[in-house]
């Protein structure tokens, strides 16, 4: 499928419907697992690269959904979201110290009790890349 050219609400929704049908048909025709958020659903996009039409539809679908989101959010709020994403530090789970507060060594009950403390996470520290 060619790149999305009609950047109107109707044009983007049409592109989304068309490409969704291409992907759904490809999945059905090839006996592939259906896309799902279910725990037993596929962990990755189930359509192999050899199915070129479905892969192209996937890329067009991704592009159209991102454009639709930006269209509906509007230019001002889109820029605000981008600015927040750039200005927001990485969450602390990018740096988990290997000590008594390490998420890898504590039972779930300890991690759950951390939500009652004044800090939002059971560990402390700033990721090294932000120091």
The predicted-structure confidence for 1-10, as pLDDT tens digits, reads as follows 555 578 999 9
Instruction: Quote the pTM value.
Output: 0.61
CA distances from 97 to 56, 92, 120, 121, 127 (A): 43, 10, 16, 12, 10
The DSSP 8-state label assigned to residue 40 in this structure reads T
Q: CA–CA separation, 12 vs 10, rounded Å?
A: 6
The DSSP 8-state label assigned to residue 131 in this structure reads -
Residues sharing a CB contact under 8 Å with residue 59, sequence separation 6 or more, in sequence order:
1
pLDDT of residue 81: 85
Q: What is the pLDDT of residues 36-75, one digit of tens each?
A: 999 989 999 999 999 999 999 999 999 999 999 999 999 9
Q: What is the pLDDT of residues 73-103, one digit of tens each?
A: 999 998 888 888 888 776 655 555 555 554 4
* The pLDDT of residue 111 is above 50: no
The DSSP 8-state label assigned to residue 122 in this structure reads S
Cβ atoms of residues 97 and 128 within 8 Å: no
């Amino acid at each position: 499928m060619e790149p999305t050219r009609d950047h109107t609400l109707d044009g983007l929704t049409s592109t989304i419907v068309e490409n969704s049908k291409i992907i759904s048909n490809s999945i059905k025709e090839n006996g592939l697992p259906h896309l799902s958020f279910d725990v037993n659903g596929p962990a990755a996009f189930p359509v192999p690269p050899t199915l070129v039409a479905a892969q192209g539809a996937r890329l067009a679908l991704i592009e159209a959904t991102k454009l639709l989101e930006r269209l509906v959010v509007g230019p001002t709020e889109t820029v605000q979201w981008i600015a927040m994403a750039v200005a927001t530090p990485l969450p602390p789970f990018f740096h988990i110290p290997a000590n008594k507060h390490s998420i890898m060594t504590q039972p779930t009950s300890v991690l759950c009790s951390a939500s009652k403390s004044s800090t939002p996470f059971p560990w402390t520290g700033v990721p090294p890349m932000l120091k």
